Amino acid sequence: MTTTRILPRIGVLAIQGDYSSHAAALADTGAGPVEVRKPDQLEGLDGLILPGGESTTMLKFLEKHGFFETLGEFCRTKPVFGTCAGAILLAREVRHPAQRSLGALDVVVERNSYGRQIDSAILTAETGLPGGPLEMVFIRAPRILSTGETVEVLARRENFPVLVRQGSILAATFHPELSQDRRVHKLFVEIVASRNVR
């Protein structure tokens, strides 16, 4: 029996926010990025990135265009990676203020949680990823207040999780697409590829 590894086709939700930086980061890793603006464009994709931006704006668009349910179904069956606003959309519960979310990732998040003075910061710290310290760019970041039992914490900021994985769902409260380091995107591509062996 032979197994063939197929280049994964990974979508980037391109409604609003910094989706083009994610597409560029994916291209760097060799995966084929596909911009997704309509529910039917999810068909045939092996994984999806939900970018940073403004989660309320994305949510309104998703609800208005009948996209919310299809996206929720995609998140239950395929690997997804949410950064910042994208992580907020994936969460089980959103606070400050409360808003609807896809409930795909067993975390409780608080939006804009670091206060006005330190709402944006670049930190470099050790993480669970091999290869030394990782640069992490935070922009009006949410804080992960709690995680469910099956959620693995890969990095922390002031003891709060900032990079988490639950099975084939990955989420960061920072913006790995804005740094040169591609380790986080590579991890996601590996998660997608490992589900894609025929």
Task: Specify the residue, 80 or 85, whose C-beta has the smaller distance to ligand GLN.
Answer: 85
Give yes or no for residue 79 binding ligand GLN (CB under 6 A). no
Give yes or no for residue 52 binding ligand GLN (CB under 6 A). yes
Minimum CB distance to ligand GLN, residue 88 (Å): 5
Give yes or no for residue 26 binding ligand GLN (CB under 6 A). no
Residue 54 tokens, joined: 């403004």
Q: What pairing do the DSSP bridges indicate for beta strands 160-166 and 169-172?
A: antiparallel
* Catalytic residue set: 84, 175, 177
Residue 38 tokens, joined: 């309509």
Beta carbons of 146 and 107 less than 8 angstroms apart: yes
- Piece of 33-41, 49-57, 68-76, 126-134 that binds ligand GLN (CB under 6 A): 49-57
C-alpha dist (Å) from residue 43 to 38, 66, 77, 161:
10, 15, 12, 32
Give yes or no for residue 84 binding ligand GLN (CB under 6 A). yes
- Count of residues that interact with ligand GLN, criterion CB under 6 A: 11
Name residues whose C-beta falls within 8 Å of residue 68's C-beta, 6 or more positions apart in sequence: 59, 62, 100, 102
E-strand ranges in 59-168 read 80-83, 91-95, 105-110, 120-125, 134-139, 143-147, 152-157, 160-166
- Piece of 7-15, 32-40, 47-55, 144-152 that binds ligand GLN (CB under 6 A): 47-55
Residue 58 tokens, joined: 């994305």
Task: Specify the residue, 8 or 52, whose C-beta has the smaller distance to ligand GLN.
Answer: 52
- Piece of 33-41, 51-59, 67-75, 144-152 that binds ligand GLN (CB under 6 A): 51-59
Minimum CB distance to ligand GLN, residue 92 (Å): 16
Residue 106 tokens, joined: 């067993």
Task: Of 124, 108, 107, give the one whose Cα is nearest residue 176.
Answer: 124
From 16, 41, 70, 112, residue interacting with ligand GLN (rule: CB under 6 A)? 112
Task: Specify the residue, 33 or 53, whose C-beta has the smaller distance to ligand GLN.
Answer: 53
Residues at the interface with ligand GLN (CB under 6 A)? 52-55, 84-85, 88, 111-112, 139-140
